[in-house]
Amino acid sequence: MASHRRPKQPSRTRVTVLTATAAAAVALTSQAAQAAPKPSKDQVKAKTDALYEQAEKATEEYDGAKDKQKKLEQEIADLQDKVARGQSDLNTLRDGLGSLASAQYRTGGIDPSVQLFLSSNPDDYLDKASKLDQLSAQQIEQLKKVQKKQRMLAQQRQEASTKLKDLADTRTELGKKKKEVQAKLGQAQKLLNTLTAQEKATLAAKEERASRDSARSVLGDAKPASGRAGAAFQAAQTKIGTPYVYGASGPSSFDCSGLTSWAYAQAGVSIPRTSQEQANIGTRIYSQSDLQVGDLVFFFGDLHHVGLYAGNGQILHAPRTGTVVRYESMSTIGGPFEFGVRV
């Protein structure tokens, strides 16, 4: 018969130890919370600026992938059109060769080798065709045209297949970059949400004052712009106050390279979409004192930010998420000036 024993109660010593341990854990948690005070608005701004810079770098990579996707789609469409037209031409050539064979048959005897050709691939056959006395020069010429067209179609189909794979890879990369940008912006927004309404207003007012000061500075003396650069700069000026949106190239929103490419397009000049590609056109200007209004100006070692030189050390650009197209001092961009480009 089983015995029924009462569970052994914990000793007073053990209870005391457990209570002390729990109390210590609570105390440590409280100390940890006290050791991580709420960051100041300046600290929040510094962290969000760093996140915005990372987001802008990812944005330029996103723009590059999007531009590549657009070009690949057009190239694939062109190739598919060529293949369709080439297949139609091939069918016409085959029909013509069939007509020759039919005419030969009606006049007294089609060669068996031609019959074979009409129902098979002519590549192996053509190497021997020129040696056969039974074939006419016209038939041989027609065979050569068919073979050339078949090889061209095979090459175009292979090229289209390769580009389709590249397009699939590019779309995957595009999705990754989009998620990366959104993640950085989400982190920045969480940090900003820790600020009070008054702190947010203070930071916004500070940026607004800096932009007004830059705008006043632009009114001073500056080297004259060339015709195209001047026209691009004037176009960009009409977009002051337009919001920054990553991946946007106008006319109602822009990212940094979206603004510069749009502005030059208004001046009748087509330039690449991304800042890194824009850096490789025109004439480079390494001295800030040699810059002219409308020159492209690039910042950071990887050239992920670009704007238009506005004169007197100021630029006109689309800075980052949460801002608008505005003037800003080159000294406050957050990264070093690398060089300018005169288009």
Catalytic annotation, residues: 256, 305, 317
Question: What would the two tokens of residue 333 be?
Answer: 């961009």
- Residue 243: CB partners within 8 Å, gap ≥ 6? 253, 254, 323, 324, 325
Can you give 50-111 as a three-state secondary structure string? HHHHHHHHHHHHHHHHHHHHHHHHHHHHHHHHHHHHHHHHHHHHHHHHHHHHHHHHHCCCCC
Strands 305-311 and 337-342: unpaired
Are the C-beta atoms of 158 and 151 separated by less than 8 Å?
no
Question: What would the two tokens of residue 268 be?
Answer: 């009748």
Q: Measured between alpha carbons, how far is 261 from 246 in angstroms, rounded to an integer? A: 14
Q: What are phi and psi of 237, to 5 degrees?
A: -60, -30
Question: What would the two tokens of residue 137 be?
Answer: 């020069």
